[in-house]
Amino acid sequence: MKLGRLNHIGVATPSIADSIAHYREAMGASDITEPFDLPEQGVKVCFVNTPTDSGMNGTQIELIEPLGEGSAIRGFLEKNPLGGQHHVCFEVEDIAAAREWFEGKGKRILGPTRIGAHGTPIFFVHPKDMMGQLTEIMETPRAGAAAGH
C-alpha cells in the first residue's frame, strides 16, 4: 500500500451552521458546500474547501454534526462540547488492498467498509493503533466523481 494525499480533516461540531459562520468570518473561507445528511453514519456533513490549483488537490475540512440521538459522534462532543478535530482522512488507490494491508499489520478496523461522504468506499482504523488519531482511509475519487456534495 502507498500513502495517498490528505483528503480531509474531520471536525466534529455541535452546529454546522455556527461552524460555517466561523470559517467564513474568522478564516475567510468562501467555498463551502451545502450541508447534507448521512443517516447511515448518523451525521450531517459539509465541506470547507481550501484553495487549490487544480480543483482536486486542496485538502478539505469536513464539518460533522450529530444526526439523531444515536450518532457516533455524540460521545466525542460530550467530552469536547465545543467540538474539535475528530479524524484525519487519507486517500488510497485500492480500498480492499488497503484494508488487507492494515489488517495484515494487526491494525483494528472499525466496522465494515462502507460508502462515505464523497461517494467512495471508506473505513476507519482504531486510534489506539494509529498513534492516538482516528484515521479514515478512503478510496481516491475517480475523475468525474463528486468531491463532497
Write out the catalytic residue numbers. Answer: 136
CA angle, residues 59, 55, 28, in degrees to nearest 5: 60
Rg of the chain's alpha carbons, rounded to an integer? 15
- What cell numbers appear for 80 in the block? 469536547
Name the amino acid, one letter, at 104.
Answer: G
Helices and strands: H and E segment counts in the chain: 3, 8
